[in-house]
């Protein structure tokens, strides 16, 4: 028996058989139990292997998995502080009745645990810290060559993204034709079809552990950068090349169970059931519902889970399996009001996981200016939702490392502005909500006495200081409240603090103006915002 504590784990003692001292593991880190044993049949299908982890307040059943080479593993993420004991169960003697104990200790500074929703319209880490998703997209970066993968991680490190949408399966699409390095299944044979094209036939009974090792390595690499892996479990971009979009039902289920046994213990994974689910022609809504339930049932930690459709295709996100709403649509980001509507409808956090890309493609989805990409992200955020960034520049041909699919270098301009916006939010008191919903389309607040007013494309010489009397759950604004104001150039990424202090006069038709009707002179530029903070 071998015990290893992976990436970022406070590994205090390594002990062999017959533990005496207690092992310690940080809360929300990962413990791996590893056993080599003889067995009969197919390690992926004929061996039952799980463990019951017991804590004073919680019992979790954790599935193990076959990792090839006669080796079975079991990975566990302790969710509560204190002593955990485990006992394994198996139909293979060499895996059964293994027991052990570990102590879950306080996490280190940069470990905040899994991201959750807590039945709110916003996200928090398990330790209570607010998580503001600022994601980007690189669907198949993990299927590119090693050098390009390394470059992608470097680019992400320079950025301030904290989420990435990426696919488990490789991608075959216009502009993305690369053959992956590894495949999730063992190749059985290569045939030719009637047209003479090569057709790979997979042994769906044999997962390829090397494929998953590579995926896991990169999820861990993302974790060390503070990035959540919004992992896309299925997608339609296969078109008969590998057939992973059209596997038999029982293979889909086995794939989910195997994948989740391997990586549910990674604290930075989210499940995205699909990208553009409605373009996957082989699956019905009933299939998606079943696969989603399979994910939820195979996940002892209940990671975030959603599903993503084509433009303006809304799945029934109210189903309880979905922790949040992940949508491809441009309409909600046309104005903060529109984005806020979706929150009001679903009562769940809304992530607009594709509103188009900054780029230079001919396709409409891939040709926003950096200003527009930034503006649409601001619109969504002011409306109290979150908007995923993406970049699709192509200067030569499909061999360009167009970030949207392959990763590589950021070529655009909006990615920096996303970092600037993230910083603004993280400096604020909390997640944003429109102060006077459906009435005021520009004023958002993260807490009492704290506002962001976003002017979008409007260019104006001055703005007369005024705020709505309403501020959602933060209560009413009152006369005599004093404020300091910063002018924020959301595209230029500057913050200019005004010397004057503003003070609310008496209520004036649902709003408060400055008592002397003071104005703020503005640079005559679009994409300005104001940060307005009460002086206490």
Residues lying near a copy of itself in the complex (CB under 8 A): 311-314, 316, 318, 329-332, 334-335, 337-338, 340-342, 344-347, 364, 437-439, 441, 510
165: tokens are: 């949408």
Q: Which of 208, 303, 220, 306 is nearest to 258 (CA)?
A: 208
Shortest distance (Å) from residue 510 CB to a copy of itself: 6
Min dist. Cβ of residue 413 to a copy of itself (A): 23
* Nearest distance in Å: CB 286, a copy of itself: 16
3-state SS, one letter per residue, for 444-495: EEEECCEEEEEEECCCCCEEECEEECCCHHHCCCCCCCEEEEEEEECCCCEE
Our CA angle for 83, 88, 93, nearest 5°, is 150
DSSP 506: S
**Residue 406, H or E segment:** helix 403-406
User: What's phi and psi for 49, nearest 5 deg?
Assistant: -155, 120
Nearest distance from C-beta of residue 327 to a copy of itself, angstroms? 9
User: Least distance from C-beta 459 to a copy of itself, angstroms?
Assistant: 18
d(CA 157, CA 227) in angstroms, rounded, equals 9
- Determine the Cα–Cα distance for residues 427 and 130; give it in Å rounded to an integer: 11
Residue 356 beta carbon to a copy of itself: minimum distance, rounded to whole angstroms: 10
As given in the structure block, the two tokens for residue 37 are 């044993």
Q: In the complex with a copy of itself, which residue's Cβ is closer, 157 or 335?
A: 335
Q: How far is the CB of 227 from a copy of itself (least distance, A)?
A: 28
Q: How far is the CB of 466 from a copy of itself (least distance, A)?
A: 15
**Exposure pattern of 325-361 as b/e (b: 16+ CB <10 Å)?**
bbbbbbebbebbbbbbbbbeebebbbbbbbbbbbbbb
- Strand-pair partners of 272: 232, 306
Measuring CA to CA, which residue among 337, 304, 291, 331 is closest to residue 438? 337
First-to-final CA distance of the chain: 60
Q: Which of 441, 436, 440, 432 is nearest to 531 (CA)?
A: 432
Smallest separation, CB 475 to a copy of itself (Å): 18
Query: By C-beta, is 238 or 329 nearer to a copy of itself?
Result: 329
- Contact of 478 with 504, CB cutoff 8 Å: yes
CB under 8 Å to 253, separation ≥6 — which residues? Answer: 290, 291, 294
Residue with Cβ nearer a copy of itself (340 or 529): 340
Here the tokens at position 2 are 């071998």
Nearer to a copy of itself, 266 or 455 (CB): 455
In terms of CB distance, is 235 or 343 closer to a copy of itself? 343
Of 440 and 514, which CB lies nearer to a copy of itself in the complex structure?
440
In the complex, minimum distance from the CB of residue 4 to a copy of itself, in angstroms, rounded to a whole number: 46
Least Å from the CB of residue 366 to a copy of itself: 13
d(CA 263, CA 233): 12
**Shortest Å, Cβ 337 to a copy of itself:** 4
State the nearest-atom distance from the C-beta of 245 to a copy of itself, in Å. Answer: 24
Residue 163: its H or E element: strand 163-167
Q: HSE (CB half, 13 Å, CA atoms) of 175?
A: 22
Residue 322 CB, shortest distance to a copy of itself, in Å, is 13
Closest CA to 205 of 140, 253, 251: 251
Sheet containing 49-55, strands listed edge to edge, beginning at the edge strand earlier in sequence: 2-5, 31-36, 71-76, 59-66, 49-55, 82-90, 99-105, 23-26
SS3 call for 166: strand
249 or 439: CB nearest a copy of itself:
439
Assign residue 452 a region: left if phi > 0, alpha if psi is -120 to 50, beta otherwise? beta
């Amino acid at each position: 028996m071998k015990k290893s504590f992976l990436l970022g784990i406070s590994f205090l003692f390594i002990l062999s058989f017959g533990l005496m001292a207690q092992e310690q593991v940080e809360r929300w880190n990962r413990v791996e139990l590893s056993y080599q044993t003889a067995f009969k049949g197919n390690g992926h299908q004929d061996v039952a292997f799980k463990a019951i982890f017991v804590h004073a307040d919680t019992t979790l059943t954790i599935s193990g998995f076959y990792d090839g080479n006669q080796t079975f593993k079991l990975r566990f993420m302790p969710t509560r502080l204190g002593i955990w004991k485990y006992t394994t169960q198996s139909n293979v003697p060499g895996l059964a009745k293994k027991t052990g104990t570990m102590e879950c200790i306080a996490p280190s500074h940069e470990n905040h645990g899994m991201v959750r929703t807590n039945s709110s319209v916003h996200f928090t880490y398990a330790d209570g810290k607010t998580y503001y998703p600022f994601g980007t997209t690189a669907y198949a970066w993990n299927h590119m060559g090693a050098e390009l993968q390394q470059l992608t991680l470097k680019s992400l490190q320079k950025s301030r993204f904290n989420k990435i949408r990426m696919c488990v399966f490789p991608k075959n699409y216009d502009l993305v034709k690369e053959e992956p390095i590894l495949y999730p299944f063992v190749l059985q044979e290569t045939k030719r079809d009637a047209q003479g094209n090569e057709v790979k036939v997979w042994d769906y009974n044999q997962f390829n552990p090397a494929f998953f090792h590579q995926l896991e390595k990169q999820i861990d690499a993302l974790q060390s950068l503070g990035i959540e892996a919004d992992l896309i479990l299925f997608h339609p971009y296969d078109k008969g090349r590998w057939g992973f979009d059209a596997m038999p039902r029982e293979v889909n289920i086995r794939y989910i169970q195997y994948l989740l046994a391997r990586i549910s213990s990674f604290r930075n994974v989210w499940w995205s059931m699909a990208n553009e689910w409605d373009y996957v022609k082989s699956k019905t809504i009933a299939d998606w519902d079943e696969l989603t339930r399979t994910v939820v049932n195979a996940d002892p930690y209940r990671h975030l889970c959603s599903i993503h459709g084509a433009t303006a295709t809304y799945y029934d996100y109210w189903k309880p399996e979905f922790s949040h709403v992940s949508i491809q649509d441009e309409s909600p980001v046309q104005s903060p009001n529109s984005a806020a509507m979706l929150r009001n409808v679903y009562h769940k956090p809304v992530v607009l996981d594709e509103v188009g890309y900054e780029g230079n493609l001919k396709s409409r989805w891939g040709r926003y200016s950096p200003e527009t990409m930034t503006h649409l992200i601001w619109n969504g955020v002011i409306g109290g939702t979150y908007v995923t960034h993406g970049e699709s520049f192509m200067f030569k041909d499909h061999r360009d490392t167009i970030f949207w699919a392959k990763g590589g270098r950021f070529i655009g301009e909006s990615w920096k502005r996303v970092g600037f916006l993230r910083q603004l939010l993280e400096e604020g008191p909390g997640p944003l909500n429109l102060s006077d919903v459906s009435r005021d389309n520009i004023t958002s607040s993260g807490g009492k006495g704290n506002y962001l007013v976003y002017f979008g494309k409007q260019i104006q010489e001055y703005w007369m200081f005024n705020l709505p009397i309403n501020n959602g759950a933060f209560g009413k604004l009152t006369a005599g409240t004093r404020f300091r104001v910063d002018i924020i150039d959301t595209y230029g990424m500057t913050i200019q603090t005004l010397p004057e202090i503003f003070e609310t006069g008496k209520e004036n038709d649902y709003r408060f103006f400055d008592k002397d009707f003071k104005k703020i002179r503005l640079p005559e530029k679009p994409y300005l915002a104001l940060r307005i903070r009460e002086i206490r």
